[in-house]
Amino acid sequence: MIDLKIKVTGKVQGVWFRARTKEEADKLSLNGFVKNLDDGSVYLEVSGEPGKEYKLVQWLPNGSELSEVEQVCIKKNNITYKDGFVIKR
């Protein structure tokens, strides 16, 4: 199991980025959450199998159809999530 903290910057709010991220995480059976931050970025914490997590990480720069991702910052996390993937408001 790998646990990651990820911050995505660029045009990622108001463009269905969180919803598409949840869809991708659900397809990959990942756990955790995604939420908007006050600075205009999107933050997520993800737990899952290494291969599946890296597929999500590879997907993030493409994001939703309307997003324009500038940067994806990834750090290891020491919290493991086990109850699905949710969008936090």
Mean of all residue pLDDT scores within the chain: 96
Q: Could you count the other beta carbons within 10 Å of the beta carbon of residue 19? A: 12
Average pLDDT over residues 67-75: 98
Domain total in the chain:
1
**pLDDT value at position 9?**
98
In a domain, 37, yes or no: yes
Q: How far apart are the first and last CA of the chain?
A: 26
pLDDT-above-90 percentage for the chain = 96
In a domain, 47, yes or no: yes
Identify the three-state secondary structure at position 53: helix
Catalytic residues, which ones? Answer: 18, 36
- The yes-or-no verdict on residue 1 having pLDDT over 90 is no
User: In terms of residue numbers, what domain contains 41?
Assistant: 2-80
In a domain, 70, yes or no: yes
In a domain, 57, yes or no: yes
**pLDDT value at position 72?**
98
CATH number at residue 38: 3.30.70.100
In a domain, 88, yes or no: no
pLDDT tens, 17-36? Answer: 999 999 999 999 999 999 99
